[in-house]
Structures are given as C-alpha cells and as structure tokens.
Amino acid sequence: METERTENAQVEENKPQPYRVRLPGFITEEEVGVGDVIKRTMSAVGIKPCGGCVERAATLNRWMVLSGRRMKR
C-alpha cells in the first residue's frame, strides 16, 4: 500500500510543468492557461466551444500558462 503512494508521488514529480510566461501589467495575479484565453476570446466573438475545443484548451493549458507575477526560481 505504501509503495503505491510512493509511486503516485513520483508520477506527480515527473509530470511536466507548463511553460510559464510573465506578462508585465497582466490584469490578474492568478495564472491563466493559454487554452482558457483562446476559449474566452472565441466565446466573446460568438463561437460556441465544441468537444474538440475543450480538449484543445486543456492541452494548451498544460503547455503554457500566462502570469502577471514574478516566477519563483
């Protein structure tokens, strides 16, 4: 049972982190995924998201995140 917990912890550590981009003057201090930005933009224009759009947004969110605050090193 404990080996399962250790393996799960190692999987979480090996999980690739998204590329974080700091935009000075970004409106919010919380991180926003690129997929969410694109999805909100398309909704504002009047395009309704489909199943493929939701999957694409999730993939983009895993790849890149926008932030207004300084990144810790």
pLDDT tens figures, 17-39 = 887 877 766 666 778 888 988 89
Separation CA 16–CA 65 (nearest Å): 13
> Which residues, at least 6 apart from 51, have a Cβ–Cβ distance to it below 8 Å?
none
> What average pLDDT does the chain have?
77
Domain presence at residue 67: yes
Domain presence at residue 66: yes
Say how many domains are in the chain.
1
Domain presence at residue 12: no
Domain hosting residue 65, numbered range:
19-73
Residue 57: per-residue pLDDT: 92
* CB 26 within 8 Å of CB 67: yes
Which pTM value belongs to this model? 0.62
In degrees and rounded to multiples of 5, residue 14 shows phi and psi of -80, -5
Residue 45: per-residue pLDDT: 94
Angle between helices 34-45 and 51-63 (to 10 degrees): 140
